[in-house]
Amino acid sequence: MTLVKHELKQGKLSLIIWTGSIGLLLAVCIFLFPEMKGQMEDVSNVFSSMGSFTDAFGMDRLNFGTLTGFYAIECGNVLGLGGAFFASLCAAGILSKEERERTAEFLLSHPVSRVRMITEKLISVFVQITAMNLAVYAISAACITFVGEDIPWKELNLLHSAYYLLQIELMGICFGISAFMRRGSAGAGLGIAAMMYFLNLVANITESAEFLKYLTPFGYCEGADIITDGSLDGGKIVIGMAAGAAGILAGYVKYTRKDIQ
């Protein structure tokens, strides 16, 4: 697992920065809640009558006066976008960077098969994403306790599980794309994450576009749906995990046959 350790060492600073940034933003949101809780009823009434904006974020189905409603919207957007960008960036450059940095020939000259190399790189990305999610989860739970609120364990677990699965799906898709890239791939990773986010907004606003929820991982991370139903949408998750697995498979097939330059 030498390559796993090497990749984790290389990505340590990025992991710390992204985890610290997402954790800090979540902490700020949670610390704001007690100060704003008394005003949230009026805010909920305002948000529930904002037409398409309300539909886009499902704010007509959540009560901002409760921690779960506030957390699902405010903290959910932070964790959703931040986590998606982090996972996409990690995976999108994990294979292409060897050609970009001119280290592919050195790496492939060692007695290590391409399959093993790809596998260890994939494991390193998975470990980084998992570590970030565990740290952010712990920060959220600690901050909720610190402000004197009861931790809604079921809702917290469901929301964080959904966003973790979202990141795993994007990891698989961007990992596959990385195998086809030769130089820069950060833009592709960020672009895919942003596109998936906006596809979900369109699906929320337009009934005729609801099918898009099956194409974007944000479709099964909708805070309003999770809090209202008390569960995750298994069908959408299966489709999402299949898309991620297809991306990983495509990455293996392409990179094992690729003419490295």
Residues 210-247 pLDDT 10s: 888 899 999 999 888 898 888 999 999 999 999 999 99
Q: Cα separation of 240 and 172, whole Å?
A: 10
Using 50, 70 and 90 to split pLDDT, how confident is the model at 49? low
Encoded tokens for 174: 């961007």
Q: What average pLDDT does this structure show over 94-112?
A: 64
Of 169 and 58, which is predicted with more confidence? 169
Average pLDDT value over all residues in the chain: 84
Q: What is the pLDDT of residue 35?
A: 78
The pLDDT value given to residue 192? 92
Query: 193, exposed or middle or buried, with CB in 10 Å at 0-12, 13-18, 19+?
Result: buried
Would you state the pLDDT for residue 248?
95
State the Cα–Cα distance between residues 119 and 202, nearest whole angstrom: 36
Residue 7, both tokens: 């990749």
Which residues, other chains included, contact 110 with Cβ-Cβ below 8 Å and sequence gap of 6+?
A: none
Percent of the chain residues past pLDDT 70, beyond the cut:
83
- Given pLDDT bands bounded at 50, 70 and 90, which one contains residue 41? low
| Per-residue pLDDT, 203 | 83
